[in-house]
Structure 1
């Protein structure tokens, strides 16, 4: 497999992982595996939560694909790399920026990242398995993106809203 084909497979896997994450979150985590995912929807004093098992699962899957596909750099290697890239981005956006599980990157002025944060906060508005919305990570409903853009424009120095405040 050529490096260009491999890079395309990484990109396709990365994009496909958003659908996989959405589907798994909506129908599996808020379904039969709620007993593990519930720990993510309730406040607790622990550093880790049962929900972190999913990070280990996808990380292990990615590692196995890369190890077994690595010698020949076949499709398994590149798919594993795509899962790893998605997981890395997921960690930084979801665990670091949104949930602040590590003490850096606490705020952003980027409207897209602010929209992701708003959508995720809406997802956590309910603590039960029913009634949640916004199950993906990277795709955000246009209503949150519009709201984030509006808020970032009104908070700029020199804007009419900031002069009133």
Structure 2
């Protein structure tokens, strides 16, 4: 397979993964997979949460496709698709775990309208700690935060997370 075609396949996979992630987050993680994902909607003590197992689950198809396309004689496009899944996972990790949830502390301060919008949309998703009633399930494409706030208000603020004490103040 030519490099340009492989890179195109990788990019199409990254874009398609946003739709896949939306579906998985909305109807699996907030559905039958809530038993793992619930830990992500609660205050976390320590470095890990049960929800982190989803990273392992979603890495398996990527690893399998790369292995098959590179070493097992499958169609070479499988490796590019697997790499696209891995690339989306890296983007997700950088955005979700580092920038939004600050699991690896940085001094990053969002300046662009786009970054502010997706961060705010994801934080609005997390103000609801229950399985139902959440808004904004995408990661890289997010609805207007004003619309999300109106939807939360329309739902009579059901499932809204109780305010957490500021840990920095509590440690002083």
Q: Please indicate the TM-score interval, normalised by the length of the shorter structure.
A: 0.7 to 0.9
> What is the aligned partner in structure 1 of residue 2 from structure 2?
2
Name 2:134's counterpart in structure 1. Answer: 132
Q: C-alpha separation between the residues in 2 aligned to 1:113 and 1:144? A: 12
- Deviation of residue 106 (structure 1)? 3.7
**1:63 and 1:80 in contact (8 A); partners too:** yes
Q: CA deviation at 1:44?
A: 2.3
Deviation of the 1:64 alpha carbon:
1.6
Unmatched segments (≥5 aa) in structure 1: 147-165
Moved more, 69-78 or 30-39: 69-78
Residue 68 of structure 2: SS of its match in structure 1?
helix
Q: 2:102: which partner in 1? A: 100
Corresponding residue to 2:80 among 78, 81, 84? 78
CA distance in 1 between partners of 2:58 and 2:146 (Å): 28
CA distance in 2 between counterparts of 1:106 and 1:97 reads: 7
Please tell me whether the aligned partners of residues 100 and 106 of structure 1 are also in contact (alpha carbons under 8 angstroms).
no
Q: Structure 1 residue 105: deviation in Å?
A: 4.3
1:144 equivalent in alignment to 2:160: no
TM-score after normalising by structure 2: 0.80
What TM-score comes out, normalization by structure 1 length?
0.83
Q: Is the contact between residue 111 and residue 145 of structure 1 (CA under 8 Å) also seen in structure 2?
A: no
Equivalent-residue separation in structure 2 for 1:58 and 1:4 (angstroms): 26
Cross-structure match for 1:121: 123
Partner of 1:34: 34
Counterpart CA distance in 2 for 1:58 and 1:5 is 24
Kindly state the Cα deviation for residue 145 of structure 1 after the two structures are TM-superposed: 9.0
CA contact (8 A) 1:115 1:145 kept: no
Alignment-derived partner of residue 152 in structure 1: none
Over 2 Å off, 4+ runs = 143-146
In structure 2, the residue matched to 1:46 is: 46
Return the alpha-carbon distance in structure 2 between the equivalents of residues 76 and 105 of structure 1.
Answer: 37
For residues 9 and 129 of structure 1, the distance between their equivalents in structure 2, rounded to whole angstroms, comes to 35
> For residues 97 and 26 of structure 1, what CA distance do their matches in structure 2 show?
21
- What is the aligned length? 145
Question: What is the DSSP-based 3-state SS (H/G/I as helix, E as strand, rest coil) of the residue aligned with 1:70?
Answer: helix
Aligned residues of 1:96 and 1:105 also touching (Cα < 8 A): no
